[in-house]
Structure 1
């Protein structure tokens, strides 16, 4: 392997934005002197491909420079990718998941960094409300209907109210949330009206659900203005 081939192999096969590589490790892989690898890495650094995290460290830790074309994750994208990580880990072969694991790591990092400055976001509110609940499990076990679950998720995400039909009776709830107790899934919310009493219903008993927009009340002074 000549110099150009080795440098290309280092760039394409060994440098990563997530995991560091050291000069001794690369020297062992390519069976060349450490000074040779150091020269290769400095060459790649000068071309904007590699970067050393700790120039004065022993050993030095080298990474790939993140491409300007990398996906810039919004909070919504990061949340969606983060939510499917467990499913991907189960469904994909270990070797294949390892190839895409950096995407999930990046999503988790982006979510955590954006969460601090968007703590009132509806994305954060929704994710916090369902993060500890395996919705797919309850759906597959018939503990909630698919269309009912969709309406409940929408009500949580949009902070709108929810009209329910239970035992041929109609209920309207606000500030709805899902709660898991003893392997059962419950819907909680405040009753519409003056009392605003907190109610809890087993989702299995909900025959239908529909999101309704939260009414907006304005004072007479505001209307006059």
Structure 2
């Protein structure tokens, strides 16, 4: 290959690499189109101005609700609040977008569970899914989201406990009011939390020490809760049985 000019080799190398990167972009686009197809079956894709199809680009063509990194031209945020979506959240497709840091689908009518595959959205820092019709348990895989800072799952029909969320060390905001959550409130790192609300659920037991950072309004509407900052004190613990002589 001594007789081949270096510029020819450079072009040849470029032609080899370029289809690979283009294929990766197509995979991301396909994943987003699949995500929208599940979120809003039969809608959106029929609107030429909407985007969210395989014949356009989410960044260059500015798909509705998509915010991109201006330099890298990668999808950073998806904000689809108040679109009256009635489908489900396809996390397996969504989390193929590895650059995604924020998902907001507030105030829709999305149904079904929050899938375990949400744990694959490892770059996610903000998760806003309030005011929908999500149900079922909070997936254990959310504890894998080490970059998650803010989560709002309020005004849904989630059930079960919230121990998963307490294992996310960097969490600064957790809003879960107006659900059907149960069990005891685990020990969060309350010193780092700026917002915390679990009111109007079905929690029981003594409230952990919140270090005076949150008032009664963060815990009200849970008849089985007791202790500060609520006014109803917890009953004294049962005395241990005396040892027999």
User: Which of the two has higher C-alpha Rg?
Assistant: 1
TM-score by length of 2: 0.25
TM-score, structure 1 normalization? 0.27
